Amino acid sequence: MNSDALTLIDEWGPEKIVCVSDQKTGMRGVLVLDNTARGMGKGGTRMSPNLTVEEVSRLARTMTWKWAAVDLFHGGAKAGILGDPNDPNKEAILRAFARALANEVPSEYVFGLDMGLTEGDSAIFLDELGDRGAAVGLPRALGGLPYDELGVTGFGVAEAADAAAATIGLEISGARVVIQGFGAVGQAAAERLIELGAEIVGVSTSVGALHDPDGLDIARLVELRAGAGDNCVREYGRTHLPADDILAVDTDILVPAAREDVIGAEVAAATKARLVVEGANMPTTREAREVLSRRGIAVVPDFIANAGGVVAAAHSMNARYSAFAIDPSAVFAMVSDKLRANTVRVLSDSLKFNVAPHEAARALAQKRVFDAMVLRGQHPRLDSARTDSAPTDTARVS
């Protein structure tokens, strides 16, 4: 996880980077509190064999913008563990990680779920620290709101895609959709998009991809995924493609819902999609976004499109010490309302001010964070005039 932390600091943060380790279990992890001007740090926790401090810092920055964009009062933060999510020693590693961050959790940060962790892992964090406020994304049996089971984030991605399509004059009924990354988010997005009338013509997992211009049988694929995981694309029964080939499939809407930086300039120049909806965090590079902008391809930025998870987390945070169960219908309603409104606003501001959608989205979030920093006397090195002017991309987030 080598990284020069000083190079990651700018006028927005991060406020704190905590690196931890445990010799007995081999645990190595990091917590990044990016900006807490609007509230305590909240973000997912991931486990990956290739984790870096820089990666977690970039994700924490995305969380800062994500919370501000949906106008909910938590701050940007992220945590990560360097390791294999399938390690047979995973529980011991998670417990060591939780103990190492006992000073920060839950007073400054609350564990959430990201790549490599499940609701059961969230329960382990809670058990280790003995505080119900230590984690969200808990199983139903512990009074939690299981994000993956309910598909909250993917539902929000689909709602954002529908709102964006209407904004650019693309009819969602019959629109062809390709989803890169048929995991929890991709599956939920596919199911909701089908309800909205779209056709899923391509999906991919880590082991391969499927393409059918006449539409895939998503119900069957979901059933296969329940038993075979990422191998569902092989079990589907048709010739499958190499995973990366999915980005070149002819489509109207492209939904990258896997990992960061998967769409570079070359893919951006070749895609036939009219709309890109970022289901994953940071799936497009800066160069790709420039190419997409020049080509007039609409983009719904990640911290706008996939913010359904933070809306659910906010409900979970409010219910941490309550004896009453969370009402999923209220969560889905808020996700739909906030993500649709933000999508329309960002795409409209992009046209109004002649800037890329990411710049318009960051301007929306930055003003809210800036105002909070000023009110708290944090005196950022920023020109306050920018908050009253056209959107400007000032944050170094990629």
The set of catalytic residues is: 78
Q: Please state, in angstroms and rounded to a whole number, the distance separating the CA atoms of residues 37 and 304.
A: 20
Q: From residue 253, give the alpha-carbon distance in Å to each of 132, 330, 354, 371.
A: 40, 28, 22, 35
Largest CA distance in the chain: 61
